[in-house]
């Protein structure tokens, strides 16, 4: 089945839009990436489940994405169907000290909602740009917290097409990882367990985190956040800086002069520019310090 037939099948699902040859540069924070054969956006869980069923039964590869903030799409694009869960699936409800939210909501928006309701525990997520689904899947975190500290339960679709519900322990949270990531599941919604707190204190902490981010991170340029995981006993950005790579460029991709753990798109960068720069950094750091930097970002698409 070709991409046009696939798109037509998906369009027949109530509440699901689908377009052919959609440039992924429009949907990633790096502003790079070739076209997806089919780009689909379901309006609800039923539409998502049905879209995944169509792909599975027709043996069409399907990839789930959120806000595209931790993603590098190669220049040739993505074969198959990309299913976006973002503002199209972003509802939430606050009940007492818990927030139940759909996978597509920005985790920073949930942090703001927690502040509004005087709930503490999610301040660390104030500046994290991704969605709840991605944050739970990779156990996103910053400063003094991560998702393992606040997730009570998650409902997800497994690779068997069935819906599963797991509690905090069953997530098997680890550093930037969870069982959902390792099993290839798709988060539908999660319940976050927080605590009552003082709004002024919560806001003070969030404002502090915001100021620190603005001061230390190149938020005014296209990037995918921290490129590398923190290696045991080191800071990735410091290793890169100590190797003399601050400001080093490959094409339009540059090691940020503000934070060497970031690579930024200075304008017109290709995915290959970024990937080549990543490989160069890894080689130089390995040669000088014997440390093998592992990427935190996800690199996808046709090579």
Q: In Å, how far are 124, 185, 200, 260 from 135, measured between CA atoms?
A: 12, 13, 26, 23
- Cα angle 125, 72, 154 (rounded to 5 degrees) comes to 40
CB 100 within 8 A of CB 55: no
- Between β-strands 186-193 and 98-102, what pairing exists: parallel, antiparallel or unpaired? antiparallel
Residue carrying structure tokens 């290839």: 184
Which residues are known catalytic residues? 176, 226, 296
Distance of CA 157 to the CA centre of its chain: 18
Other C-beta atoms within 10 Å of 222: how many? 18
Residue carrying structure tokens 């997806």: 36
Taking the C-alpha atoms of residue 289 and residue 101, their distance in angstroms, rounded to an integer, is 43
Taking the C-alpha atoms of residue 104 and residue 120, their distance in angstroms, rounded to an integer, is 22
- Rounded (10°) CA dihedral 145, 151, 155, 161: 40
Residue carrying structure tokens 């699902």: 13
């Amino acid at each position: 089945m070709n991409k046009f037939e696939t798109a037509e099948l998906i369009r027949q699902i109530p509440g699901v839009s689908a377009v052919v040859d959609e440039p992924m540069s429009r949907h990633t924070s790096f502003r790079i990436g070739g076209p997806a054969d089919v780009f689909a956006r379901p309006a609800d869980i039923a539409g998502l489940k049905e879209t995944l069923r169509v792909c599975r039964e027709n043996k069409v590869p399907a990839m789930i994405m959120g806000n595209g903030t931790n993603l590098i799409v190669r220049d040739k694009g993505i074969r198959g169907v990309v299913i976006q869960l973002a503002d199209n699936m972003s509802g939430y409800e606050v009940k007492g000290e818990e927030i139940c939210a759909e996978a597509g909501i920005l985790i920073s928006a949930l942090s703001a909602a927690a502040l509004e309701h005087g709930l503490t525990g999610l301040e660390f997520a104030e500046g994290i740009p991704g969605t709840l689904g991605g944050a739970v899947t990779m156990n996103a975190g910053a400063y003094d917290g991560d998702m393992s500290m606040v997730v009570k339960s998650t409902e997800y679709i497994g690779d068997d097409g069935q819906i599963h519900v797991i509690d905090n322990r069953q997530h098997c949270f680890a550093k930037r990882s969870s069982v959902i990531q390792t099993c290839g599941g798709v988060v539908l919604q999660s319940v976050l367990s927080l605590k009552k707190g003082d709004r002024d204190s919560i806001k003070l902490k969030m404002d502090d985190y915001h100021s620190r981010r603005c001061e230390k991170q190149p938020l005014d340029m296209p990037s995918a956040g921290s490129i590398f995981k923190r290696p045991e006993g080191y800071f990735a950005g410091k290793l890169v800086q100590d190797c003399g790579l601050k400001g080093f460029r490959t094409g339009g991709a540059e090691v940020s002069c503000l934070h060497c753990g970031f690579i930024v798109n200075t304008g017109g960068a290709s995915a290959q520019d970024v990937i080549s720069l990543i490989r160069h950094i890894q080689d130089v750091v390995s040669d000088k310090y014997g440390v093998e930097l592992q990427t935190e970002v996800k690199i996808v698409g046709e090579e």
